[in-house]
Amino acid sequence: MQDFKSKYGPWAIVAGASEGLGAAFAEELAKRGLNLILVARRLEKLEELSDNLKFKYQIEIKCYSIDLADYKQIKNFESHIGSNIGLLVYNAAFAPIGYFENVSEENLLKIVDVNIKAPLLLTKLVSQQMIQKKGGGIVLMSSLAGNQGSPKIATYAASKAFNIILAEGIWNELNKHGIDVIASCAGAITTPGYKKAQNSKDAPGTLDAHEVVIKTLNALGKGPTVIPGFINKLARFFMGRLFPRKMAISIMDKNTKELT
């Protein structure tokens, strides 16, 4: 814990921290002694989480209500956060469910803004500070859906593929500055959003949010990507290495049909 704090402290940004996986990241980082900057649209959720974590872990926390689809808000936020950021966790995502023909242009643009432009911009801004400090860490939450075409969440999956490739590239580039980068390619996670979208039983390999967080943070500094969960690792191996591409997409189609 102390090594983690000294390497990635004193402050961590968690974008998309109001509930679910983001809140789990916030709690685990607080447990490891990092002060937190929590970002999401719903300020009341952030403040509720903040009060709980400050009481349990005796750390400092700042909360910011930001629409991560708004470039200007992100730039303004970054100009006020100071230079002691040692870790960025980008967990926020916009994932409208529906076949491409039925997804509005507005929602397609929002997927790009929240899932691609915002993590790209925050990573650029925060990494510039980390380069000067000669150290830090960046976690981009991705998805197993980003490893092949995924019907009914096609654009979301494509945005997650972007984050995997981005993380792999800058993992190599920023390593010389002492900055660790990782993309966490998670499968299904028992978050409020997943429960709301899933009509049937949990998908194979579904993990608790805290388990995903611990496996992701423990993998930081060990390589450009991590796949939390043994079943998910197997799925990635078969879907990406053994099955023909057409079969992998067909399997995803069967897995996403029940999403609403």
Interior angle at CA 91, CA 87 and CA 97, nearest 5 = 170
- Residue 155 amino acid letter: T
Q: Under 8 Å CB-to-CB from 244, ≥6 apart: which residues? A: none
Interior angle at CA 211, CA 41 and CA 217, nearest 5 = 75
Task: Decide: residue 87, CB within 10 A, 0-12 exposed, 13-18 middle, 19+ buried.
Answer: buried
The residue assigned the tokens 């830090």 is 136
Does 90 qualify as catalytic in the annotation? no
- Residues 27, 48: Cα–Cα separation, whole Å: 12
CA-wise closest residue to 119 among 13, 228, 190, 5:
13
Catalytic residue among 45, 117, 152, 160: 160
Q: Under 8 Å CB-to-CB from 210, ≥6 apart: which residues? A: 24, 27, 28
- Residues 185, 199: Cα–Cα separation, whole Å: 23
Q: Are strands 179-186 and 136-143 parallel, antiparallel or unpaired?
A: parallel
Does 160 qualify as catalytic in the annotation? yes
The count of C-alpha atoms lying within 13 angstroms of the C-alpha of 222, restricted to the half-sphere facing its C-beta, is 9
Catalytic residue among 8, 156, 201, 257: 156
Known catalytic residues are 156, 160
